[in-house]
Amino acid sequence: MSEFIHKNYNVTVLIYHLVFPVKYRRAVLDAGVDRVITLTWAEIDKRYEINFLEIGSDEDHIHFLDRSLPMYSTGNDDKKFVSV
């Protein structure tokens, strides 16, 4: 699979590294929460043209590495996560 996204109007490689910290950096993320978040992002991946390359978490923050089209901003990606 090519690392480029080919569309009729452009060829793109746009990769975002998003970090979502937990409020007050509390250690509340465990394997169960990580599993739910991974399933949520899988649903977003199906609905929108956002490909998640890696998802990682620690006790107090989550990292996402995703590839998206230039028409979507990172703020738009955040809203999609909240909407699911």
Q: Which residue has the higher pLDDT, 5 or 66?
A: 66
Q: Which residue has the higher pLDDT, 81 or 60?
A: 60
Alpha-helical segments (H) within the chain: 31-47, 74-83
pLDDT digits (tens, 9 = 90+) for 15-64: 888 888 888 878 888 888 888 888 888 888 888 777 888 888 888 888 88
- Residues 63/22, Cβ–Cβ less than 8 Å: no
Go through 38-64 and write b for each residue having 16 or more CB atoms within 10 A of its CB, e for each that does not: eeebeebeeeeebeeeebebeeeebeb
Is the pLDDT reported for residue 84 higher than 70? Answer: no
CA distance 55 to 36: 12
- CATH number reported for the structural domain that contains residue 34 in this entry: 3.30.70.1290
Q: What is the pLDDT of residue 46?
A: 83
Query: Which residue range forms the structural domain that includes residue 48?
Result: 5-83
pTM: 0.65
Provide the number of structural domains found in the chain: 1
Q: What is the pLDDT of residue 1?
A: 44
